[in-house]
């Protein structure tokens, strides 16, 4: 038996394909009219743009967040996802260790270059890090190699980072900060 009494919870969900494609279309709309988000972000990324996803995308993210919080009757729980941005990452782009604002944050992987994960164990992968490096204790969770449609939700303060990749194509991810009002999380 393995007990895991300490540490943050990370939710992993999956966008259904029709919602992933909608978010991909929203991402390309952001490329036209989203506006530069790099001023509030730390990533070394080709394009970082504000995005205003469609209602069906937000419903999906809100549903996963309520699932994560353990509050499926979430009408009493106000969720505010803002800001939301899209990262169009190309070869050589990377994300240093950072955390977010809000209460929780999400990242949805909309597109992933073919073969990126074959380059090296960490290429394009995300890592979460928490706590001290001690014998018998895990302080790094990763490399996590998200596939198209994967969604992760985590506490805003949880540090994470992304290694660069060399493959052609774009790694498109949409992230946002989630404020929770009116109800405490159940954990
Ligand atoms: Fe981040």
- The closest alpha carbon to 86, from 149, 26, 174, 10, belongs to 174
Distances (CA, A) of 166 to 38, 88, 115, 120, 173: 22, 14, 10, 10, 17
d(CA 106, ligand 1 centre) in Å: 8
d(CA 140, ligand 1 centre) in Å: 15
The tally of domains found in the chain comes to 1
d(CA 114, ligand 1 centre) in Å: 22
Which pLDDT does position 183 carry in this prediction?
61
Domain of residue 23, residue span = 6-181
Is 92 a domain residue?
yes
Is 31 a domain residue?
yes
Give the whole-angstrom CA distance, residue 40 versus residue 171.
20
d(CA 138, ligand 1 centre) in Å: 20
Is 112 a domain residue?
yes
Which pLDDT does position 73 carry in this prediction?
46
d(CA 1, ligand 1 centre) in Å: 33
Is 45 a domain residue?
yes
Is 187 a domain residue?
no
Is 1 a domain residue?
no
Per-residue pLDDT of the chain in tens (187 residues, 90 and over written 9): 777 778 889 999 999 999 999 999 999 998 888 799 999 999 989 899 999 999 999 999 999 998 888 754 455 567 889 899 999 999 999 999 999 988 999 999 999 999 999 999 999 999 999 999 999 888 999 999 999 999 999 999 999 999 999 999 999 999 999 998 876 555 5
Confirm if 110 and 147 have CB atoms less than 8 A apart: no
Residue 28, H or E segment:
helix 17-33
Is 186 a domain residue?
no
d(CA 2, ligand 1 centre) in Å: 29
50: tokens are: 């504000």
d(CA 116, ligand 1 centre) in Å: 20
d(CA 120, ligand 1 centre) in Å: 21
Distances (CA, A) of 140 to 107, 120, 129: 18, 18, 4
Check whether the bond before 42 is cis (ω within 30° of 0).
Answer: no
123 secondary structure, DSSP code: T
d(CA 100, ligand 1 centre) in Å: 6
User: Global pTM?
Assistant: 0.91
The whole-angstrom distance between residue 151's C-alpha and the CA centroid of its chain comes to: 6
- The CATH number covering residue 105 comes to 2.60.120.620
d(CA 144, ligand 1 centre) in Å: 14
d(CA 161, ligand 1 centre) in Å: 7
d(CA 160, ligand 1 centre) in Å: 6
């Amino acid at each position: 038996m393995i007990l895991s009494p300490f540490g943050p919870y990370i939710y992993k969900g999956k966008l259904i394909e029709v919602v992933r494609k909608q978010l991909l279309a929203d991402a390309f709309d952001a490329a036209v009219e989203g506006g530069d988000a790099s001023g509030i972000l730390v990533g070394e990324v080709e394009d970082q743009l504000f995005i205003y996803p469609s209602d069906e995308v937000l419903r999906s993210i809100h549903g996963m967040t309520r699932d994560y919080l353990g509050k499926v009757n979430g009408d009493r729980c106000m969720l505010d996802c803002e800001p939301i941005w899209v990262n169009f990452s190309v070869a050589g782009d990377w994300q240093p260790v950072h955390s977010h604002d809000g209460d929780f944050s999400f990242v949805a992987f909309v597109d992933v270059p073919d073969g990126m994960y074959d380059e090296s164990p960490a290429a394009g992968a995300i890592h979460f890090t928490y706590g001290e490096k001690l014998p018998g204790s895990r302080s790094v969770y990763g490399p996590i190699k998200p596939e198209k449609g994967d969604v992760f939700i985590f506490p805003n303060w949880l540090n994470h980072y992304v290694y660069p990749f060399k493959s052609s194509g774009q790694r498109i991810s949409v992230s946002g900060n989630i404020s929770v009002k009116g109800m405490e999380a159940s954990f």
